[in-house]
Amino acid sequence: MPDPSPEWSTAPFGEALRAAMAHHGLSFRDLESRALVPVGNLHDHVSGKRPPPGDDLLERIARGAKVEPAYFREWRERRLIELLRDVPELELRLSRHGLAGTLGAVLQRLVDAEGAERR
């Protein structure tokens, strides 16, 4: 079972993977054997020579690095896109705010409201 720490990362995939490996004391060779991904491919993902992996490979790498797939920003972004596709009216509203330059303010109000609910 993955360790719940470290917290979800906001860093790009390569940096986030490196941080997870460091947190758990894993080398690239350790991760290679745990995730069954060639070490060269892992290096290429970390260095940015390869784009972030697709979901299946990302999930294997996450398990190998002892984190949940949601630890990686790219995995969470894909889930958000899927949710927006399921709720087209929300996607339309957010897109309009994005084009108008007001999306940041709308999202900040949402974050502030969520924080107030938790208190």
The ranges assigned to domains in the chain are 13-75, 88-118
Mean pLDDT of the chain: 92
pLDDT at 5: 58
Q: Residue 30's pLDDT is what? A: 98
Q: Are 98 and 37 in contact (CB under 8 A)?
A: no
In single-letter form, the type of residue at position 116 comes to A
Q: What is the pLDDT of residue 6?
A: 67
Give Cβ neighbours of residue 64 (< 8 Å, ≥ 6 apart).
26, 31, 34, 35, 36, 37
The CATH class given to the 13-75 domain equals mainly alpha
User: Structure pTM?
Assistant: 0.80
Closest residue by Cα to residue 31 from 20, 1, 47: 20
How far is C-alpha 115 from the chain's CA centre?
22
- CA 31 to CA 24: how far, in whole Å? 10
- The per-residue pLDDT for range 18-37, each reduced to its tens digit, is 999 999 999 999 999 999 99
b/e per residue, 28-37, with b = 16+ CB within 10 A?
beebbebbeb
